[in-house]
Amino acid sequence: MLFDSTLLFYHATGTFQFTAGEFVNLAGNTASCASTVINLGNARDLGIGPGQEIPMLAIQVGTAITSSCQSTLINAQFQGSTNSVLWTTYVESGANSTASYTAGASILPIAVPKRLHGAGLPLYYRLNLAITGNALSETISTGTVIGGIVLARDDGPNTLASYPSGFSVS
């Protein structure tokens, strides 16, 4: 999978080698963890349309996301904005426990959605990880992520186990 450095939501500044040091550390976040804002340069809708190259979200967990609070839930929200102040949520994952975010897991693996009917053309995109729970003291203990918008997501390794083995080619 190829990342464009201008289309990254979560990325630690570095050499763009995409090693463990490039992942963003989420430890210590309590209410939400908004990503870097992607400025499209001019207002446009990157959502599904005609053509073969469909922009997709690719957000990978590096180190498993954990919390000391059992009730911690994370809701991944893909958002767009016309002014980088007021955000419209286009799609969200729903609240999932931190156990869902193991090392190597994908967060919100979807094609970039079309803007909502009646919403202005977005100039900015971001990914927000909303952190909630019952204890009102939820904090991420560990976890790292990297991600952005890509044209070809590397989904193959996640589906290899779905195919039967034991065949031979002669």
For residue 14, the domain's CATH number is: 2.60.120.1110
Residue 165 falls inside a structural domain: no
Residue 93 falls inside a structural domain: yes
Residue 142 falls inside a structural domain: yes
> Rounded to whole angstroms, how far apart are CA atoms 57 and 107?
8
Residue 168 falls inside a structural domain: no
As for how many domains the chain has, the answer is 1
State pTM to two decimals.
Answer: 0.79
pLDDT at 123: 92
Encode the chain (170 residues) as per-residue pLDDT tens digits: 677 777 888 777 665 555 556 778 788 877 777 778 888 888 887 876 666 678 888 888 888 988 888 888 888 899 999 999 999 999 999 889 888 889 988 888 888 888 878 888 899 999 888 888 776 677 888 988 888 888 866 665 555 555 565 656 66
Strand-pairing partners, residue 61, are: 145
Q: Residue 66 belongs to what H/E stretch? A: strand 66-67
pLDDT at 165: 59
Residue 69 falls inside a structural domain: yes
Report the candidate in 154, 168, 162, 170 with the shortest Cα–Cα distance to residue 104.
Answer: 154
Residue 70 falls inside a structural domain: yes
pLDDT at 154: 63
Residue 87 falls inside a structural domain: yes
Enclosing domain of residue 64: 5-154
Residue 159 falls inside a structural domain: no
pLDDT at 82: 92
Residue-by-residue DSSP string for 109-167: --BPPPPPTTPPPPSEEEEEEEEE-SSS---EEE-EEEEEEESS---HHHHGGGS----
